[in-house]
Amino acid sequence: MKIISACLAGIKCRYDGEAAPCRKVIELVEQGEAIPVCPEQLGGLPTPRAPAEKRDDGVFTKEGKDVTYQFETGAKEALKIAKLAGCGQAILKARSPSCGSGAIYDGTFSGRVIEGDGVFAGMAKENGIEVVTEDEFGFTDTSGEPFRRTRP
C-alpha cells in the first residue's frame, strides 16, 4: 500500500484550489493500491489558502503568518494514516512545503528551489517510509503527456 499526495490523485486540495493530477497515481487509487491524503487539509488549513513555504524551522505564508503548527499537525495525521494502512512507500508532490522530497522552495517565494524535505515527507522518511515524488517516476498528467510543473 502507498500513501500519496491527494492533489496527484486529482483532488482539488492545493493551496490555489486546484489539483496536480497524474494518471498513474489516479490509477493506483482506483485499483485500491494507494491512499490519498492532504497533510495541509488534515492540519486544518482551508482550500484555497495562502501559499506557504518552509524556512528556518517553520512554515510561513507569503504574508509572514506562521502556519508551522498546522503543517506539523497535518503531517502527524497523515503519518498515522500511513502507519494504520501499512504503507511502505509514499508518492508525494514535488517541491511542496508538506510533501516535497529532496527539493523544496527556499522560503522567499521567489521560485528558487533548495535541497530539503517538506514537513510530511521528512516525517515519513524518519518513520521508515520510502518517499518519492511524481517527478522521480516520470509520471504523466491525465493527458498522458510527461508531467511538468506548470505553476509553483
**Secondary structure string (H, E, C) spanning the chain:** CEEEEHHHHCCCCCCCCCCCCEHHHHHHHHCCCEEEECHHHHCCCCCCCCCEEEECCEEEECCCCECHHHHHHHHHHHHHHHHHCCCCEEEECCECCCCCCCEEECCCCCCCEEECCCHHHHHHHHCCCEEEEHHHHCCEECCCCECCCCCC
Length of the chain: 152
Banded model confidence at residue 136, pLDDT cuts 50, 70, 90: confident
Domain ranges of the chain: 2-137
How far is the C-alpha of 77 from the C-alpha of 56, rounded, in Å? 23
- pLDDT at site 56: 86
Average pLDDT of span 138-152:
48
Distance set, CA 17 to CA 37, 57, 75, 96 (Å) = 15, 26, 19, 14
Sequence-separated (6 or more) residues with CB below 8 Å from residue 150: none
pLDDT of 36 strictly over 50:
yes
pLDDT of 141 strictly over 60:
no
How far is the C-alpha of 25 from the C-alpha of 151, rounded, in Å? 19
pLDDT digits (tens, 9 = 90+) for 90-131: 999 999 999 999 999 999 999 999 999 999 999 999 999 999
How far is the C-alpha of 11 from the C-alpha of 35, rounded, in Å? 12
- pLDDT at site 57: 84
How far is the C-alpha of 85 from the C-alpha of 102, rounded, in Å? 24
Banded model confidence at residue 151, pLDDT cuts 50, 70, 90: very low
pLDDT digits (tens, 9 = 90+) for 48-101: 999 999 998 899 999 999 999 999 999 999 999 999 999 999 999 999 999 999
Residue 110 is which amino acid?
Answer: S
